[in-house]
Structure 1
Amino acid sequence: MELVEENQKTPLTFLLLFTTGVVLASELLTRVLMSGQTSITNQFYWLLDRTAGITSYELLALSSILGVSMTSGLWDKHGLRKWAKQLHQYTTLLFVPFLGLHLFGLYQDTSVPFSLPSLLIPFHAPYHPLLTALGVLSFYGSLVLVFSSYLRKYISMKAWRTIHFLSFPLFLAVTVHGFFGGTDSKTLVGFLLYAIPFGLFVGFTMQRVMVMKGR
């Protein structure tokens, strides 16, 4: 994840406002209009959790694929490096609020209860403890990566690159968490939503390794 530039601050503000609006609208809908209808409320938050979770994964996948492919020289050949970098930054910013909505949906869905500690402390959740722990650790890892981009001018290049290598195990952990912990991966479309991005990421990573060995 490259340094987040000045022109990314407006989209970030919009995304934060959008996320806040979704949360407030959800609370209004479920507490006022659906008051007392527990099953419908749980289904609403279950759908929110699923859609936000898959969306955040696809955004993280696109950001990771763009990041690793830029180091292979792919975009330079076509004069598209600047475009790829901008898209890489935007998808990084988009990933964060959808991740927040994913956690919000999990917390509000009482059919599979998730307490706040179970969402924030690894191995604390009764539902798939290992897979949930991978999700929790990935959550913290993603925050470190995003904020390190904002703090890049204050830290050394070596430190930033070291932190940036977290993106490789992070993406692997998120893939395992979503594929084996979610319900959508059991369908063909859901399977492809995980398999295709992961395959592209592995392919570009191998290409990057070969480029580095050739230098």
Structure 2
Amino acid sequence: MTTLALTGSPLWYAGRVGGTLALILLTATVVLGIASGGRTEPRRIGRFEVGLLHRNLSLLTVVFLVVHVVTVVLDPFVHLSWAVSVVPFGASYRPLWLGLGTAALDLLLAVLVTSALRRRIGLRPWKAVHRLAYAAWPLALFHSAGTGTDTRLPLQLWLYAACLVSVVGAMGWRLVKAGPGRVVGRLVAAVAALAVPVVLAEFLAAGPLQPGWAQRAAVTTVLLGGGR
């Protein structure tokens, strides 16, 4: 057992690397989208360059997500089907936490498809779907924390902290720079930005950082109608 834990499968390592890089790139995409949106105007670079960078980061996120999904499905350790990659909460391995990742992927795919059809569907529907990327980020974060076998490593915890600080910092900066109006929307954004770090910290302390998390995470299989 120790030898397997140390050597591991190349697919397992590729899946973890792809997922980690996808989370980092998604965080950067969300931060850039928050910081450059609204009435804020970039000073040193134009909006075209910001938009181009935002699009390239989004595409890179999808690329590494595909790498993550393909390698995890092909890895014989968890025995996942291809349907699990698009249908949330249907896996037999940690279905709740894998389901969060699948839901995040579905949201990002919806953003990608509507971006390709932006001229046909119109600006307003595209913007409505495009905002789903903000919901995909916390889903991906909790998916990584709940499913990742390396969540207890200090480096991985620092990575989660950096992602949280980046997004919350960008949201705080955006709220400070925002003009008057839309009080309800700004209040909801502020509450969400503060709630995610608190909920994640409590979840980590009570879940993945405690002994026996692997067994407890698998219990949700029964609750969600999966196998034994």
- 1:154 pairs with 100, 120, 140, which one? 120
* Mapped contact 1:72–1:211 kept (Cα < 8 A): no
CA distance in 2 between counterparts of 1:84 and 1:194 reads 25
TM-score (norm 1): 0.73
Partner of 1:122: 88
Partner of 1:69: 35
What is the correspondence of 1:19-168 to structure 2 with a 5 Å cutoff? 43-71=9-37, 76-168=42-134
CA apart distance, 1:75:
5.5
* Mapped contact 1:123–1:130 kept (Cα < 8 A): yes
* Mapped contact 1:49–1:106 kept (Cα < 8 A): yes
CA apart distance, 1:183:
2.3
Partner of 1:197: 163
* Count of aligned pairs: 178
* Mapped contact 1:42–1:110 kept (Cα < 8 A): no
SS in structure 2 of the partner of residue 76 of structure 1: coil
TM-score (norm 2): 0.70
Q: What CA RMSD, in Å, does the superposition of the two structures yield over aligned residues?
A: 2.4
CA distance in 2 between counterparts of 1:197 and 1:133 reads 21
SS in structure 2 of the partner of residue 173 of structure 1: helix
CA 1:42–1:111 in structure 2 vs 1: closer, same or farther (change >3 Å)?
farther
CA distance in 1 between counterparts of 2:20 and 2:114 reads 24
CA 1:196–1:48 in structure 2 vs 1: closer, same or farther (change >3 Å)?
same
CA 1:199–1:39 in structure 2 vs 1: closer, same or farther (change >3 Å)?
closer
* Mapped contact 1:141–1:170 kept (Cα < 8 A): yes
- Superposed CA deviations along residues 150-177 of structure 1, whole A, max 9, x for unmatched, are 2111122221121122122111111111
Q: Which runs of 5+ in 2 are unaligned?
A: 182-228
CA distance in 2 between counterparts of 1:58 and 1:75 reads 24
Partner of 2:150: 184
* Mapped contact 2:40–2:178 kept (Cα < 8 A): no
CA 1:114–1:42 in structure 2 vs 1: closer, same or farther (change >3 Å)?
farther
**Higher helix proportion:** 1
